[in-house]
Amino acid sequence: MHVKVLEEELSSTLNSLVCGFHQLLDLKDLNTGVHSTRLAEWGMRVGQELGIPEESLHDIEMAAVVHDIGKIGVPDAILNKNGPLTEDERALMNKHPEYGWGVLRLFPALSQTSLITLHHHESFDGNGYPGKLRGSEIPLGARIVTVIDSFDAMVSNRPYRKGLPTEEAKRRLVQSSGTQFDPAVVKCFLGIVDSELPAVFAAVSANSNLIF
Ligand SMILES: [Fe+2]
């Protein structure tokens, strides 16, 4: 009984911590709550479909929310720059997975979430960063976050551009399957995206002030 109470306290503390990180991202205007909440919903659904155990699903859900936390360490002039980044600026921007990992790894219960954060810009073919990991060397949670984050970014409206139609975003996932993306994750996502899209949007609007 005592262990169960402690587990519940830890789980509640973790959720508060992740909500706090999420609010920090919002203060820096790096993420809309809706984007993060959608990613958490997609992460759970893709993970379940791939047969990932419950405890690991929660790591993916948390990583879906906080994976870009390291952007807090990137200067605003680079984050908000209109136009292409110089080589030096790009190098600084590409540090954000390591910055995020550096913060999250301080919390032992977030060790898996920190690893997903560290590797969420790796490419399946080994051409990503920071570790140039390839294939199954990349944590599965990171391979999932890469796919769902890319899809959600493509279909989302931005101040400077309109989001792509869903069909075009799906086509681009297929186009980069095996190079940027894990083909198994793309296949799984494409298998559920049409049927789950309404449920994801409904869940997000029902929980617009709540992540977990
Ligand atoms: Fe990122």
For ligand 1, the distance from its centroid to the CA atom of residue 148, given in whole angstroms, is: 12
DSSP state, residue 67: T
For residue 126, report the phi and psi dihedrals to the nearest 5 degrees.
90, 5
Give me the CATH number covering residue 31.
1.10.3210.10
Cis upstream peptide for 130 (omega within 30°): yes
Q: What percent of the chain has pLDDT over 70?
A: 94
Q: How close is the Cα of 4 to the center of ligand 1, in Å?
A: 35
Helix, strand, coil percentages, rounded to 5, for the chain: 70, 0, 30
Q: Please name the residues in contact with 209: beta carbons below 8 A apart, sequence gap of 6 or more.
A: 33
Q: Of 132, 109, 110, nearest to 121 (Cα)?
A: 132
Cα 2 to ligand 1 centre (Å): 39
pLDDT, one tens digit per residue, over 91-137 is: 999 999 999 999 999 999 999 999 999 999 999 999 999 999 999 99
Q: How many folded domains does the chain comprise?
A: 1
- Cα(22) to ligand 1 centroid in Å equals 14
Q: What residue numbers bound the domain in which 25 lies?
A: 2-206
| Token code pair at residue 102 | 């550096």
As a whole number, mean pLDDT of residues 195-201 equals 89
Calculate helix-pair angle for 2-27, 54-66, nearest 10 degrees: 20
Cα-to-centroid distance, 101 and ligand 1 (Å): 12
In this predicted structure, the answer to whether residue 166 has a pLDDT above a threshold of 90 is: yes
CA of residue 168 to ligand 1 center, whole Å: 22
Ligand 1 centroid, distance to 154 Cα (angstroms): 14
Is 212 inside a domain boundary?
Answer: no
Task: Name beta bridge partners: 181.
Answer: 177
Cβ(186)–Cβ(173) below 8 Å? yes
Evaluate whether 102 touches 95 at the Cβ level (below 8 Å).
no
Q: Output the pLDDT for position 32.
A: 61
- Look up the pTM and report it: 0.91
How much distance in Å is there from the Cα of 121 to the middle of ligand 1?
6
- Cα of 8 vs centre of ligand 1, distance in Å, is 30
Longest Cα separation, the chain = 57
Does any domain span residue 211?
no
